[in-house]
Amino acid sequence: MELTSLLKRIVGDRFVLTDREKLENYILDETPIHIRPRPASNLILVKPSNTQEVSEILKIANQYRIPVYPRGGGSGLAGGAIPTRNGIILSLERMNRIEIDRENLMAVAEAGVTLEKLIKTAEEAELFFPLHPGDESAQIGGLISTNAGGTRAVKFGIMRNYVKGLEIVLPTGEVLRLGGRLQKNNAGYDLMHLIIGSEGTLAIITKAIIKLYPKFEATATLVIPFENRQDAINSVPKILQGGVMPLAIEYVERELMEKTAKHLGEVWQVKEGRCYLLVIVAEQSREEMLNQSLKIAEICKNYGAMEPLFAEPKEDQDRILRIRSNIYLTLKSEMIDTLDVTVPPASIGKLIEEVDRIAEKYDTRLPAYGHAGDGNLHIHIMDEGRDEEYYEKLRSEIYDAAVKLGGTITGEHGIGKVRVRSLMKYMDEKQLEIMRKIKEIFDPNNILNPEAVIP
């Protein structure tokens, strides 16, 4: 029996698609066009509705050595979800059930639940999911597979810090349940945390137990203007050392915020300064929120900050976050690549100095913004009509600068399929050898997202 017929027997005729036109939304992601891998030509899209169906699909794929590409919301930036060999695209979108466990402050969500649905469902239960990696169409399985971070990671951490349990399907079809509704679990090697951030190369995530928090009573967003980015960046460690722990500390540039606001049909209101810190403060009382906000403003004032904009109404805060979250999409058509190098938070000022030096050396512009509170900076290499060798040298110098400061080439976007060559350069050979052996144990026939992560 041909593969299409076998798959239809598992999920039903409606949920197996081969028409290329209907596959268009499933074969690409948000990776910049210039570096995006080319999708394969012969692909089958399958949409299972439960874990058992995922298991049966993987058993067939493993038996016949057919590549399988797990698919979430397609918001990735490293080509991780792009199917580069003929095979199966496995979309988890139908697996979108969620329940809230108020007593344990947790959500039990299937892999296809969107970030938007998780946030809203938690809010309806008077709880809070703090993380906001950006595009709210991203799905839970993808957020976990890429160990997503985003703007609001300073106070409570990245996706890894929220995941308490996983249900996964191995490439050979076995179903494993790891962790649980637990705060502590010290039984053996932690396989769950090996799956988190593995970019769909070790197993298919079908369900997750996600930690939630009590809803904050008072939140505010401060837009703090500075005349130069060194002053802005250098104030960030002082905020954290001053006993203040905001939900987010973002560094952005005025030109980018104005351009993005215009792209969205809005107007950026803050006209002072050339760059800003966007600081989100969340506390259990308005008094404490105001105290923390004043303390942050005073620290920044010592580093040359101007009068901050204080946004308290939810719609005003949402507008600021929406503009910040859309910078990448505004610049996407003008860029070659977007890097997400990360350094120790106290070294981010030195990283900015290096970025300025590299931009001057190459007589180019390197727009930079990102998560200053956790040392994660997004640096855009703009399209100047140069050859690939020029862009590769520019990229390598930025990577070199980050690594020399004790950093890494990616803090959020992952390796995917576009950073594999760079990983080989910057990772110790013994680490790569161990990673290869782990991949072989989980996926002996290399059917899960081949060509991603592992060189």
Residue 76 lies in a domain: yes
Same domain, 148 and 209: yes
Residues 294, 385, single domain; the answer is no
pLDDT of residue 135: 85
Residue 439 lies in a domain: no
Q: For position 175, which CATH number holds? A: 3.30.465.10
Judge if 373 and 418 occupy the same domain.
Answer: yes
**Average pLDDT of 31-56?**
97
Tell me the CATH number at 40.
3.30.43.10
Same domain, 192 and 103: yes
Q: Which of 306, 325, 344 is at the close of a domain?
A: 325
Query: Distance between CA atoms of 270 and 276, rounded to whole angstroms?
Result: 9
Segment 16-40 mean pLDDT: 95
Please give the pLDDT value at position 264.
Answer: 96
Choosing from 293, 325, 357, the residue where a domain stops is 325
pLDDT value at position 55? 98
In angstroms and rounded to an integer, the radius of gyration of the C-alpha atoms of the chain is 22
Determine, yes or no, domain membership for 449.
no
Q: What is the pTM of this model?
A: 0.95
pLDDT for position 243:
86
Per-residue pLDDT at 56: 98
State the DSSP H helix or E strand holding residue 248, giving kind and residue range, or none if neither. strand 248-253
User: Is residue 117 pLDDT above 80, yes or no?
Assistant: yes
Do residues 208 and 222 both lie within one domain? no
- Tokens found for residue 306: 């101007």
Domain match, 8 and 85 both: yes
Q: Between the CA of residue 442 and those of 107, 190, 203, 340, what are the distances in Å?
A: 27, 14, 7, 28
222: domain CATH number is 3.30.70.2190
Reduced to 3 states (helix: H, G, I; strand: E, B; else coil), residue 375 is: coil
Do 335 and 308 belong together in one domain?
Answer: no
What does the pLDDT look like over 280-289, one tens digit per residue?
Answer: 999 999 999 9
Mean pLDDT along residues 60-65: 98
Residues 58 and 166 in one domain: no
Q: Which residue in the block uniquely carries the two structure tokens 């080319």? A: 38
pLDDT of 52 > 80? The answer is yes
Per-residue model confidence (pLDDT) at position 455? 80
pLDDT, tens only, 146-170: 999 998 999 999 999 999 999 999 9
Q: Could you tell me if residue 450 is inside a domain?
A: no
Structural domain ending residue among the three candidates 298, 325, 352: 325
| End-to-end Cα, the chain, rounded Å | 34
**CATH at residue 343:** 3.30.70.2740
Does some domain include residue 107? yes
Q: What is the mean pLDDT of residues 182-207?
A: 97
Does residue 443 lie within any of the structural domains? no
Evaluate whether 64 touches 19 at the Cβ level (below 8 Å). Answer: no
- Decide if pLDDT at 189 tops 80: yes
**263 close to 327: Cβ distance less than 8 angstroms:** no
**Separation of alpha carbons 370 and 324, rounded Å:** 9
Position 84 in a domain: yes
Which of 130-139, 289-298, 413-422 is predicted least confidently?
130-139
Q: Would you say 350 and 408 are in contact if contact means Cβ atoms under 8 Å apart?
A: no
Within-domain flag for 455: no
Give the domain range for residue 378: 331-429
| pLDDT class of 229 with cuts at 50, 70, 90 | confident
Q: Please give the structure tokens belonging to residue 26.
A: 């499933």
Q: Are 168 and 232 contained in the same domain?
A: no
Q: In terms of pLDDT, which residue wins out, 1 or 251?
A: 251
Q: State mean pLDDT over 273-298.
A: 96
Assign 357 a pLDDT band (cuts: 50, 70, 90): very high
User: Does the pLDDT at position 43 exceed 80?
Assistant: yes
Please indicate, yes or no, whether residues 60 and 81 belong to a single structural domain of this protein.
yes
How many domains does the chain divide into? 4
CB 23 within 8 A of CB 45: yes
- Is 70 exceeded by the pLDDT of residue 1? no
193 and 107 in a common domain: yes
Asked if 227 and 133 touch (Cβ cutoff 8 Å), the reply is no
Say if residue 120 is in the same domain as residue 77.
no
